[in-house]
Structure 1
Amino acid sequence: MRHQGIHHVTAIAGPARRNLDFYTRVLGLRLVKKTVNFDDPGTYHLYFGDGLGQPGSILTFFPWEHVAPGRNGIGSTQETSFRVPEASLGYWAHRFIEQGVEHGTVEKRFGQSVLTFKDPHGTSLALVGTPNAESEPAWTVEGIPAEHAVRGLEGVTLLVENGERTGAILTDVFGFRETARDGSLVRYKTDALMGSTVDIRSAGGFLPGRMGGGSVHHVAFRAKDDAEEAEMVRKLAEIHGLQPTEQKDRNYFRSVYFREPGGILFEIATDEPGFAVDEPQDSLGAELKLPAFLEPRRSEIESHLPELA
């Protein structure tokens, strides 16, 4: 059984146009897929990632025009981080100043240099300086040199009351291993190149998180195929007493969902069939893609979606 870390992270944003501009122009990610929220088709579902749209590189958004701001707190994903070359953090700090991006100063976590920042809708993000990342392929856009480009997700930081049971799911079910501790922060890793890190911060007595603009809606973990996903579901039930949802077809992966013991929504998503299933690799994200059951409503849906260009 192969365990490969995080598949994608899905968050909530404000106006779609601003969301698209920030992640493609300012951060330099590729718009991998332009579709809608299958459960709320009046809203876009935008997928950003690397040039190939690989699992482990993907951050997705449900952008709602008038969403109220969320709040980080207990039972929420506190931060989502990206991998960049180790020598690139100075470049990014300068770019954030130029682009008016709210950001912190470079800090050290578990021996790595980290630059925190926020997107326009308050999503807490970070860039993690990663050795040898400059030798990996990069999706490039105008104004961001290839040697500084984002190389995919690094991971997430979860904030929970008590992280022990959450950590047990990461190790028993998803194949992570505990690698370090620093006070209330515990690090779990896999050998995946992207999406390999989950940090759990235990903090009793804090206010609970509130879902809204800037909040992470869920974190999805990779399963190679249906059989591997089914085995993960079996372990969740037999070892941890958790019952995920039935499998849902999301066109680009097949998913089950459950709330881990700390209250955060987790997803298990298959690598198959991938984002090139309904448009060529070289034109990913070019057209609005709808699942077959929504295709008869295309005109109605398109008329209600805001313009992106």
Structure 2
Amino acid sequence: MRQNGIHHVTAIAGPAQRNLDFYTRVLGLRLVKKTVNFDDPGTYHFYYGDEAGQPGTILTFFPWEHAAPGRLGVGETQETVFRVPEGSIGYWTHRLIEKGVPHEAPEKRFGETVVALKDPDGMRLALVAMPGIKNEPGWTDGEIPAEHAIRGFHSASLLVPEAAPTGAILTDVFGFREIAREGSLVRYKAGDTTLGGIVDLREAGGFLRGRPGAGTVHHIAFRATDDAVQAEMVKKLAENHGIRTTEQKDRDYFRAVYFREPGGLLFEIATDDPGFAVDEPAESLGQALKLPRFLEPNREKIEAVLPKVA
């Protein structure tokens, strides 16, 4: 059955080691791929996710050592939200305090308990307590007990001038439907997709536009099962919305097209296949620096300029 929803979220970070430490050691995500920015190979591209690197669990970063801080604003992803088991909010609240992570007190949104937090670059994240997910497999490297581990994405919250034009793309092209409203938030859900199946649109027409930089999201990617489904989405964008995408780009682990949606956000459509185990064994994902074939001849030069990480 076709699964819609979020494929991955890609953001900009500061120092690579600090980013790696926070997402693997504090939040306990698995580093599923260590590669480079294909368009700027002097910069890492880190992919974090669950044990298998499933679509709907993947948060990726371009860490630039001296990146200036960005400014959150209209036309950007406001918050990237992860799922945790319902009984784990207490554990996570204590962990955030222990690790000195800036966070808010638990609050209710759409009837769910949410803890908002920020990463070292000020990127806005949140944890949502979800009933009935405790038995889903949780990745652990030994520090965070598997029963409390993050279980992929819950949602992403997007800041848009008005919800309707962006909502039309979500519903017509990506298979979402509006399910609830709360204040200035409009919630959309992608069928029965559990991982990354929710997008919240926050109408913020009077706010400043965002400014890219460390702590901001570069783009948000939505799932297409394969090339045929992706092509169908591209056709709908052109015929129903007058929006043209880039040509398809091979990112080794998925194939992608990009476009600006009406609210100004950069959207991507990424295929589910071939996945992250295409160039290294599933049990050792993220351990070695992987390069695309066209960059492999330059490996020595690339490794010489990349920051050392452990």
- TM-score higher than 0.5: yes
User: Partner residue of 1:10?
Assistant: 10
Counterpart code for 1:236: L
Task: Give deviations 1:78-102, integer Å, cap 9, x for gaps.
Answer: 0000000011111111000100100
Structure 1: gaps spanning 5 or more residues: none
CA contact (8 A) 1:3 1:174 kept: no
* Cα separation, 2, equivalents of 1:287 and 1:227: 32
Quote the residue 1:151 is aligned against. 151
Between 1:41-50 and 1:133-142, the stretch displaced more is 133-142
Where do residues 114-263 of structure 1 align in structure 2 (5 Å cutoff)?
114-190=114-190, 191-263=192-264
Q: Is the 1:3–1:175 contact (alpha carbons within 8 Å) kept by the matching residues of 2?
A: no
TM superposition shift of 1:3: 4.1
- Give the residue type in structure 2 aligned to 1:266: F
Deviations 1:80-134 (A, max 9, x none): 0000001111111100010010000101000100000000011100001111111
CA distance in structure 1 between the aligned counterparts of 2:147 and 2:285, rounded to whole angstroms = 23
**3-state SS in 2 of match to 1:147:** helix
Q: Which amino acid aligns with 2:60?
A: T
Amino acid at match of 1:118: K
CA deviations 1:251-277 (Å, max 9, x no partner) are: 000000000000000000000110000
Cα separation, 2, equivalents of 1:161 and 1:193? 28
Structure 1 residues 156-186: Cα deviation after superposition (integer angstroms, max 9, x where no partner): 0000111111001000000011110012110
Q: Deviations over 1:239-293 (max 9, x none)?
A: 0100000000000000000000000000000001100000000000010000000
Aligned-pair CA distance for 1:142: 2.4
Secondary structure at 1:135's aligned position in 2?
A: coil
Deviations 1:185-209 (CA, angstroms, capped at 9, x unpaired): 1000112120111000011111111
2:84 maps to a residue whose letter is V
1:299 corresponds in structure 2 to 300
Matches within 5 A, 1:97-108: 97-108=97-108
Query: 1:273 is aligned with what amino acid?
Result: P
Structure 2 residues not aligned, in runs of 5+: none
Deviations 1:39-95 (A, max 9, x none): 000000000000011010000000000000011111110000000001111111100
TM-score (norm 2): 0.99
Secondary structure of 1:11's counterpart equals: strand
The 3-state SS of whatever aligns with 1:122 is: coil
Aligned-pair Cα RMSD in Å: 0.8
- For residues 203-247 of structure 1, the C-alpha deviation after alignment (integer angstroms, 9 at most, x for no partner) is 111111110000000000000000000000000000010000000
Take 2:57 and 2:197, find their aligned partners in 1: how far apart are those partners? 10
Secondary structure of 1:301's aligned partner: helix
The alpha carbon displacement at 1:2 in A equals: 2.5
Separation in structure 2 between the aligned mates of residue 290 and residue 230 of structure 1, nearest angstrom: 27
- CA distance in 2 between counterparts of 1:67 and 1:163 reads 31
How far apart, CA to CA, are the structure 2 residues paired with 1:87 and 1:72? 31
Residue pair 1:84, 1:130 contacting (<8 A) in 2 also: yes
Which has the higher mean CA deviation after the structures are superposed, 9-18 or 143-152? 143-152
Distance 1:276 1:231 in 2: 26
Runs of 4+ in structure 1 deviating by more than 4 angstroms, as ranges, are: none
User: How many pairs does the alignment contain?
Assistant: 309
Aligned partner letter, 2:307: P
Partner residue in 1 for 2:289: 288
Normalized against structure 1, the TM-score is what? 0.99
